[in-house]
Amino acid sequence: MYDSTIMWNSFWRSRDRFSLDQLRYLTDQLTKVQVVNEVNKDFVIEALRSIAELMTYGDQHDPSYFEYFMEKQVMGEFVRILKLSKTVSVPLQLLQTVSILVQNLRNEHAIYYLFSNEHINYLITYSFDFQNEELLSYYISFLRAISGKLNKNTVSLLVKIRGDEVVSFPLYVEAIRFAFHEENMVRTAVRAVTLNVYHVGDDSVNRYISSVPHKDYFSNLISFFRKQSIDLNKLVSHTLINPGPDSTSTIIAAIDEIEDNLYYVSDIVSAGIPDVGRLITDSILTVLIFPLLLPSLRIAIDNDIQSGVVTSLYLLCCILRIIKIKDLANTIAAALFYPSEAFTKSFGGFHPEGVLMQNDCSNSNLSLRDVLLAYVTKGDDIQVLGSLSVLATLLKTKELDESMLDGLGILPQRKQHKKLLLQALVGESSGEEELFSSKSSLTRDSTGSDIDVYHDKIKDRYGISCQSSVVGNSPHVNRFQVIDALVNLFCRSNISAVTLWEGGWLLRRLLPYSESEFNSHHLELLKQVSALIQVSYNNCAAALVEEVKGIWTDFLISVLCDEWRKCKRAMESSSPPKEPNCVLLLPHPHYKFSLEDDTPKGSSFAVGERMQELVKVFVLLHQLQLFTLGRALPEQPPIDPTGDLPTNRRAQTSGLDASGPKAGTEISLAVNAVPCRIAFKSGKEHHFCFRAISLGISGWLVLAEELPSQKSHGIVRVTAPLAGCDPRIDDKHSTWLHLRIRSSSLPFLDPAKSNDYGRIKTKSLVDGRWTLAFRDEQSCNSALAMIVEEINILSDEVHRRLKPLLNLETAIDLSSTDLCVTEDSSNRILPKSL
């Protein structure tokens, strides 16, 4: 054996580190190694590492380096060293060295040389000890580095061909062995390798990966996704019953992994390999859609089954939104015309043992489309949102045939009008008749026949058949079933604003947009929609008037303006307001208050959230009313401007400007200031003068310290909001006045006080309290009367400004003159005859 001491002494001998001589020396030393053990392993490792550096340097500066590398067949030496090695550390370094070579060599001829012999394939198929996690990591990185150099020329150097067919492709076969490894980093690297293979575009390689047994990878991939879906459902089910502080973050992590997997499948599809696209379509339908997701779309008394519904709705949205396969999208849509029993009798869903509720929604004769609409009209908040998300996702799926959308009753009115117009222009009589008829919609024959094609595919290819009564309806009937369900949704009082906004977005897509699209039937429809929504709108407006007297009256107008802009933007957007994953992140209606246990009863924070929720609903209903009555939406709600404020004696005598009192500023105490005492800390009492002041739609409680030199003036030391102070004289001490001190801002509008999903962090949910002690009962009553009077002045001003908004007829008149609608806007004006 070569003396390792001589090796090391020679290794460190003075020599240019990046010289060709150094490369010659290292290569020569490696050829002399006859065994690799604990004695010489450090030298071998350092030699391998240094050769990688030298070859990278030579690739950029001197081609003679690689000429020498080829001449001495250094890759063969690497393989020989691997065979001699008795330690783990040398294979680690060898894999890293070859990875560095492959990644950093830019010369195409150098890459061709590396791939042109069997050394790379030998390393790929070598029996490494993959129990060592670090070695596995280096190996997977090695495979990824090789795949990064694949193209139509280089791939031929790594496969074995018999005739015109690939019979061996070690890189691909060895990579997919680790496709479902427990480590996410390994799975991610394997996916990168496979995508690099799929996107080469070599026909013989494509036939190889889609042949037996390699095509099983795609069904195994969907089976792996099915397992993740079941795990997600278990997590959602557990969260519905036992929500905890980490529930949201845990579900988000699961969602991220689910969607990452679907995007990987989408990337595979984008490679454009026809056989692979069909394999994935068949696997998704037979492994996931038919046996698991569609059977789970049912209402049951069991919370576990409720979670199955929610998870299925979310997953359907994800699949349709992410995986762009026309045949897959249309097959899923066509399956929605089948009754649920077509799938439940053959498959079980997430919970095959569950007991169905005996109500309208569980009727086995209902098509799955009807089940979705039943959820909209009768389901809880999450089920409604999930169903709306599915309908909105279908509507936005470009791969879906328009005839399928029309059969479902969700073809956007504008698309429908354009299609009929095109038919009329090319002389198709049915198109011309439908365009100008009172029931403008595609015919049953043109729509139903397209759907029947997919039903035949489902029967012939997947063995599922069932007569669908929905397909027998005209698209006109199906369309108005959807509109009727949405209008009924707006009449429900137990649905969140988030969900109602989703319904509002969908309704906007289904109703006519421009004057050219209207006929007498449309006008009658819009009148009916408006009349039905009017009832809910009136109830909401009455509740909003009550908020004028509420805890957050000073913020009511600003919240209204803010939500108006958000709602307008959401309704006019080309995409729904919420991502489908929102359905898994909303608190379940039965448990939504469990996360608020830390919020004190009657807390102003909870009241503020309810106020915002009410405003969101009011704004949506108001904008829908304007839309159905043919009015454009103004950029701002019709609220009276500030104008000339009515005379407020206290505000005038205080000497304050429009910005209000600030700590450290001077204030007049000549009129209405009442001396008091207050202790912010136990045993430390302060003497102040108290004043209550309103100015416009703002108001303050002020504690000021008298100026020694000028008793009629003082310095503001402490301020608090006037609104929501809830003044109350103590039952036992008639000179004590209790005041609630709420936050000076709405916490859910402050990102620092809310999490990513707008829920207030519980640690900040605390109202303050002041107890003011006055020198006598008369002073205490005087302070109370002053507070009540200023609150009334504040509320009256807020109400005055809101009157134009609360009066719908006035709001309609204002909106008709507020905007000039441009041609490319989503707002359109209805005929003046309306």
pLDDT in tens, 27-67: 999 999 999 988 899 999 999 999 999 999 998 899 999 99
Under the banding of pLDDT at 50, 70 and 90, the label for residue 813 is low
- The whole-number pLDDT of residue 647 equals 56
- The whole-number pLDDT of residue 792 equals 95
Rounded mean pLDDT, 316-343: 94
pLDDT in tens, 132-173: 999 999 999 999 999 999 999 999 999 999 999 999 999 999
- The whole-number pLDDT of residue 588 equals 59
Q: Is the pLDDT of residue 415 over 80?
A: no
pLDDT in tens, 65-75: 999 999 999 99
d(Cα 488, Cα 457) in Å, to the nearest integer? Answer: 35
- The whole-number pLDDT of residue 586 equals 76
Q: Is the pLDDT of residue 629 over 80?
A: no
Element (H, E) at 115: helix 108-116
Q: What is the mean pLDDT of the chain?
A: 84
The 3-state secondary structure of 288-310, one letter per residue: HHHHHHHHHCCCECCHHHHHHHH
Backbone dihedral angles phi then psi of residue 68, each to the nearest 5 degrees: -65, -40
Radius of gyration over alpha carbons of the chain, in Å? Answer: 36
Render the burial of 632-647: b for 16+ CB within 10 Å, e for the rest: bbbeebbbeeeeeeee
- The whole-number pLDDT of residue 818 equals 42
- The whole-number pLDDT of residue 111 equals 93
- Report DSSP state, residue 85: B
- The whole-number pLDDT of residue 421 equals 56
- Tokens encoding 737: 């006045």
- The whole-number pLDDT of residue 412 equals 87
Q: Is the pLDDT of residue 2 over 80?
A: no
Q: Which residue has the higher pLDDT, 611 or 243?
A: 611
d(Cα 625, Cα 508) in Å, to the nearest integer? Answer: 11
- Tokens encoding 117: 């012999």
Q: Is the pLDDT of residue 819 over 80?
A: no
Q: Which residue has the higher pLDDT, 523 or 362?
A: 523
Q: Is the pLDDT of residue 824 over 70?
A: no
Pair 423, 430: CB distance under 8 Å: yes
d(Cα 502, Cα 575) in Å, to the nearest integer? Answer: 10
pLDDT cut 90: percent of the chain above it: 63
- Tokens encoding 226: 């099915």
d(Cα 630, Cα 778) in Å, to the nearest integer? Answer: 58
User: What is the residue-wise DSSP string for 489-554?
Assistant: HHT-SSS-HHHHHHHHHHHHHHS--SGGG--HHHHHHHHHHHHHHHHHHHHHHHHHHHHTTSTTHH
pLDDT in tens, 251-270: 999 999 999 999 999 999 99
Q: Is the pLDDT of residue 418 over 90?
A: no
Q: Is the pLDDT of residue 7 over 80?
A: no
- The whole-number pLDDT of residue 276 equals 96
Pair 65, 71: CB distance under 8 Å: no
Render the burial of 74-113: b for 16+ CB within 10 Å, e for the rest: bbebbbbbbeebeeebbbbbbbbbbbbbbbbbeeeebbeb
Rounded mean pLDDT, 193-198: 98
CA distance to 86, 128, 190, 310, 591, per residue, from 382 (Å): 60, 50, 37, 7, 12
Range with lowest mean pLDDT among 325-334, 618-627, 729-738:
618-627
Sorted by sequence, the CB contacts under 8 Å of residue 646 that are 6+ apart come out as 793, 797
Q: Is the pLDDT of residue 349 over 80?
A: no
Q: Which residue has the higher pLDDT, 303 or 650?
A: 650
- The whole-number pLDDT of residue 658 equals 74
Under the banding of pLDDT at 50, 70 and 90, the label for residue 578 is very high
Rounded mean pLDDT, 783-804: 95
Under the banding of pLDDT at 50, 70 and 90, the label for residue 294 is very high
Q: Residue 831 in 3-state DSSP?
A: coil
Q: Is the pLDDT of residue 419 over 70?
A: no
Nearest residue to 261 via CA among 194, 201, 216, 197 = 194
d(Cα 602, Cα 607) in Å, to the nearest integer? Answer: 7
Other C-beta atoms closer than 10 Å to the C-beta of 13 total 9
Range with lowest mean pLDDT among 14-18, 444-448, 763-767:
444-448
Q: Which residue has the higher pLDDT, 364 or 806?
A: 806
Q: Residue 165 in 3-state DSSP?
A: strand
Q: Is the pLDDT of residue 498 over 60?
A: yes
- The whole-number pLDDT of residue 493 equals 86
Q: Is 616 left (phi over 0), alpha (psi -120 to 50) or beta?
A: alpha
Q: Is the pLDDT of residue 195 over 80?
A: yes
CA distance to 121, 147, 567, per residue, from 130 (Å): 17, 20, 55
Under the banding of pLDDT at 50, 70 and 90, the label for residue 469 is low
pLDDT cut 70: percent of the chain above it: 80
